[in-house]
Amino acid sequence: MVRTTLNLHQLSLIWILMIILVVIFFALLFTIVLIKIRLDIRKRNDSRRRSKQNSLDSKSNSKVTASNTANTIKENSIEIRDDNDDGDDDIGSKSR
Protein backbone atom coordinates (compact mmCIF):
# COMPACT_ATOMS: atom_id res chain seq x y z
CA MET A 1 0.00 0.00 0.00
CA VAL A 2 1.41 3.32 -1.06
CA ARG A 3 1.26 6.00 1.53
CA THR A 4 0.92 9.58 0.33
CA THR A 5 1.54 12.54 2.49
CA LEU A 6 0.49 16.08 1.83
CA ASN A 7 2.80 18.85 2.79
CA LEU A 8 1.64 22.14 4.27
CA HIS A 9 1.65 23.92 0.91
CA GLN A 10 -0.72 21.35 -0.64
CA LEU A 11 -3.07 21.47 2.36
CA SER A 12 -3.26 25.26 2.24
CA LEU A 13 -4.09 25.12 -1.49
CA ILE A 14 -6.88 22.61 -0.84
CA TRP A 15 -8.33 24.82 1.90
CA ILE A 16 -8.14 27.90 -0.32
CA LEU A 17 -9.92 26.06 -3.15
CA MET A 18 -12.63 24.82 -0.76
CA ILE A 19 -13.17 28.36 0.54
CA ILE A 20 -13.38 29.70 -3.03
CA LEU A 21 -15.95 27.01 -3.93
CA VAL A 22 -18.05 27.85 -0.85
CA VAL A 23 -17.93 31.58 -1.72
CA ILE A 24 -18.98 30.85 -5.31
CA PHE A 25 -21.83 28.64 -4.06
CA PHE A 26 -23.18 31.33 -1.73
CA ALA A 27 -22.76 34.01 -4.42
CA LEU A 28 -24.87 31.93 -6.83
CA LEU A 29 -27.44 31.26 -4.13
CA PHE A 30 -27.62 34.98 -3.30
CA THR A 31 -28.00 35.86 -7.00
CA ILE A 32 -30.83 33.35 -7.45
CA VAL A 33 -32.65 34.72 -4.39
CA LEU A 34 -32.27 38.31 -5.64
CA ILE A 35 -33.61 37.37 -9.08
CA LYS A 36 -36.60 35.65 -7.49
CA ILE A 37 -37.33 38.68 -5.30
CA ARG A 38 -37.14 41.01 -8.31
CA LEU A 39 -39.50 38.77 -10.30
CA ASP A 40 -41.97 38.71 -7.39
CA ILE A 41 -41.84 42.51 -7.11
CA ARG A 42 -42.33 42.87 -10.88
CA LYS A 43 -45.26 40.44 -10.80
CA ARG A 44 -46.84 42.33 -7.88
CA ASN A 45 -46.40 45.67 -9.69
CA ASP A 46 -47.87 44.22 -12.88
CA SER A 47 -50.91 42.92 -11.00
CA ARG A 48 -51.36 46.31 -9.31
CA ARG A 49 -51.07 48.06 -12.67
CA ARG A 50 -53.54 45.59 -14.18
CA SER A 51 -56.05 46.03 -11.35
CA LYS A 52 -55.71 49.81 -11.59
CA GLN A 53 -56.32 49.60 -15.35
CA ASN A 54 -59.31 47.30 -14.79
CA SER A 55 -60.67 49.80 -12.28
CA LEU A 56 -60.30 52.62 -14.79
CA ASP A 57 -61.90 50.47 -17.49
CA SER A 58 -64.84 49.60 -15.25
CA LYS A 59 -65.33 53.29 -14.38
CA SER A 60 -65.26 54.12 -18.08
CA ASN A 61 -67.69 51.28 -18.83
CA SER A 62 -70.05 52.44 -16.07
CA LYS A 63 -70.02 55.97 -17.53
CA VAL A 64 -70.83 54.57 -20.97
CA THR A 65 -73.56 52.37 -19.46
CA ALA A 66 -75.01 55.34 -17.58
CA SER A 67 -74.95 57.40 -20.78
CA ASN A 68 -76.63 54.59 -22.73
CA THR A 69 -79.23 54.17 -20.00
CA ALA A 70 -79.95 57.90 -20.03
CA ASN A 71 -80.35 57.84 -23.81
CA THR A 72 -82.64 54.80 -23.60
CA ILE A 73 -84.79 56.45 -20.94
CA LYS A 74 -84.96 59.59 -23.06
CA GLU A 75 -86.02 57.58 -26.12
CA ASN A 76 -88.64 55.59 -24.22
CA SER A 77 -89.98 58.45 -22.13
CA ILE A 78 -93.67 59.09 -21.82
CA GLU A 79 -94.87 62.53 -22.73
CA ILE A 80 -98.17 64.15 -21.89
CA ARG A 81 -100.11 65.46 -24.87
CA ASP A 82 -103.62 66.32 -25.81
CA ASP A 83 -104.47 64.31 -28.94
CA ASN A 84 -108.13 64.96 -29.27
CA ASP A 85 -108.34 68.60 -28.11
CA ASP A 86 -110.96 67.78 -25.48
CA GLY A 87 -109.12 69.59 -22.73
CA ASP A 88 -107.79 66.63 -20.79
CA ASP A 89 -104.27 65.41 -21.27
CA ASP A 90 -103.83 61.98 -22.76
CA ILE A 91 -100.83 60.08 -21.43
CA GLY A 92 -99.19 58.06 -24.15
CA SER A 93 -95.88 57.07 -25.57
CA LYS A 94 -93.83 59.49 -27.58
CA SER A 95 -95.26 60.03 -31.05
CA ARG A 96 -93.20 58.57 -33.82
pLDDT, tens digit (0-9, with 9 covering 90-100), for 21-52:
999 999 999 999 999 999 999 888 888 888 87
For the segment 70-84, what is each residue's pLDDT rounded down to a tens digit? Answer: 667 666 665 555 556
Domains in the chain: boundaries: 1-64
- Please write the tens of the pLDDT for every residue from 49-78: 888 777 777 766 666 666 667 667 666 665
From residue 66, give the alpha-carbon distance in Å to each of 57, 59, 63, 75, 91: 14, 10, 5, 14, 27
d(CA 24, CA 15): 14
Cα 67–Cα 71–Cα 74 angle in degrees, nearest 5 = 140
d(CA 24, CA 44): 30
SS3 91: strand
